[in-house]
Amino acid sequence: MSKVRVLVGTRKGAFILTSDGNRKKWNISGPYFGGWEIYHMKGSPVDPDRIYASQVSGWFGQIIQRSNDGGKSWGIPGGEKMPDSYDPPAGESNKFAYDISSETGKPLTTHQWYDGSQKPWEFKRVWHLEPSHSDPDLVYAGVEDAALFKTQNGGKSWEELSGLRGHVSGPKWQPGAGGMCLHTILVDPKNPKRIYVAISAAGAFRTDDGGETWKPINRGLKSEYIPDPVAEVGHCVHRIALHPSRPDVLFMQKHWDVMRSDNAGDLWREISGNLPSDFGFVIDVHAHEPETIYVIPIKSDGEHYPPDGKLRVYRSRKGENEWEALTKGLPQSNCYVNVLRDAMAIDSMESCGIYFGTTGGQVYCSADSGDSWNAIVRDLPAVLSVEVQTIF
């Protein structure tokens, strides 16, 4: 029988929620890596047993964890052991990045990388992990400060796709309120050389040659809070989503505005329509209906909670300006949680399941495409990310 596995990253560890295809009764395991921030967990689309996790500590830096058995056990691909003051799961330590200088050849700390001048460039954390659609050992990683890395050996070693950080617009990039993070990576399932990324607060970029060269794809965006509201770069993009059957059609939740592009990001138009607020962090697309999209509005950039204290998911059946509020099973009074940019996911069951997690520690599930909701777990640490694996 089919199974659904929900991967939840929180401020204080990782949790895995599993259920059968009915999605009524859930088994909860965790916390894994208790006390560590788990910014993102994601499973391989081609190997249901392979999961990657971004594990962060102010003491020990950035670690990438990997499970080869669906999260039952974890290891750290690479060479060195963890510090003695931390008792890690069984496995070896991977230095996330290595010194590429032929002069020293020494591994750096887990959050340093040498640029062409041989000066260490530091990053704070890995925000997003994106496994390949075809190879379980190929994974992309977006980091803060904004850069893109990839591994081709399951996380043992990483290389930077330096064409992005070296783009002529790079010196103009500025951090958003959450830092200058590369938080979205979308690989075109029909053309793996085409990759979309989004950076807060620089905007969206696309490569058509596997990461060698990049172009900003922000035409049509307008941001009143920057000196030039229609600048080529400088927009605070919160999230981008696509449906694998139509990878040229993109949907975006911006700092303000919900946007759509029908030409791979070359031009965007607003579809905020009748939403109560066009500010939010998440956006996603129905598994079987490429025109059906979901957002969760937040009151404003200063008040990160639902308008009127009512937690509502909004659905557009046409990917346009008409939105309907989905409220059944969600709190409709005195609710002041936030839903962060990586905290929504969609399964591929016949009756499409929608999931999201909140900063209040709840994870909600709708097994009927959003018509009704149920909290499948409560009282977790603040949820940073939610991903789902559908296992047939």
Q: Are 184 and 143 in contact (CB under 8 A)?
A: no
- pLDDT confidence of residue 178: 84
Query: According to the model, what pLDDT value does residue 57 have?
Result: 78
Q: What pLDDT, on a 0 to 100 scale, did the predictor assign at position 114?
A: 44
3-state secondary structure of 310: coil
Q: Which token pair is 9? A: 């990253």
pLDDT at 392 (0 to 100): 87
Helix (H, G, I), strand (E, B) or coil at 3: strand
Cα–Cα dist 184/129, whole Å? 9
Residue 78's pLDDT is what?
54
Q: How far are the Cα atoms of 49, 75, 76, 98, 350 from residue 79, in angstroms, in the given order?
A: 23, 11, 9, 12, 43
Task: List the chain residues with pLDDT less than 50.
Answer: 79-120
15, containing H or E segment? strand 13-20
Per-residue pLDDT at 121? 53
Distance from C-alpha of 173 to C-alpha of 200, rounded to nearest angstrom: 8
**Residue 328: CA count within 13 A, CB half-sphere:** 8
Predicted local distance difference test score (pLDDT) of residue 1: 73
The pLDDT assigned to 98 comes to 33
For the residues of 232-283, what is the DSSP string, one character each? SS---EEEEEEETTEEEEEEEEESS-EEEESSTTSS-EE--TT-S-SEEEEE
Residues facing residue 43 across a β-bridge: 51
Span 170-191, pLDDT tens digits: 988 988 888 899 999 999 999 9
382 secondary structure, DSSP code = P
Q: In sequence order, what DSSP letters do the residues of 154-179 get, joined into one string?
A: TTS--EE-HHHHTSTTGGG---BTTB
